[in-house]
Amino acid sequence: MLRMSYMPSDFHPILLVLGTPEQLLILADALEAFSQKGGKAVLNDAGVFSTDTRVTLEEIDLEGERNPGLWQVEKGATDLVWRLPKNYAWIFSNEVANLANSGEPAGSVTLECDVLSEIRVKVSIGEWEEDYLTDDFR
């Protein structure tokens, strides 16, 4: 099962996404679909499981007032909004697909928009226990 969870931290908060190579392609496909359609999409509805985190993709224009990147909807919340221009979503889709198709037993990519204080997305295969981020592990 492809799974994710927000890991808050004072210094380096992350959204951790874990799965097998085949499962990571679900995330790559969701990002690619968003890169084509834009608008809004919810990763949880695309097949990314979480017991405590909800991530909404939201299309933005880089010339707008809001910064791109992953942000908490409100302080202390585990609901996150990932504001991306469509071309960023396409790039991130390719990075995840390249990881999934690499044939490596373990590895990760970090998805970020290089904006101060944004939450980074760490997508990983083979680096964590199979049931990490599930209710059974917690």
The SS3 of residue 22 is: helix
> In this structure, what token pair is assigned to residue 51?
């017991």
The average pLDDT across 32-56 equals: 96
Neighbours of 136 (CB within 10 A): 6
pTM: 0.92
CB crowding 56-88: b at 16 or more within 10 Å, else e? bbbbbeeeeeeebbbbeeeeeebebbbbbbbeb
**Contact yes or no for 38/59 (Cβ under 8 A):** yes
Distance CA(12)–CA(7), nearest Å, equals: 9
How does pLDDT run across 97-126, given as a tens digit for each residue? 999 999 999 999 999 999 999 999 999 999
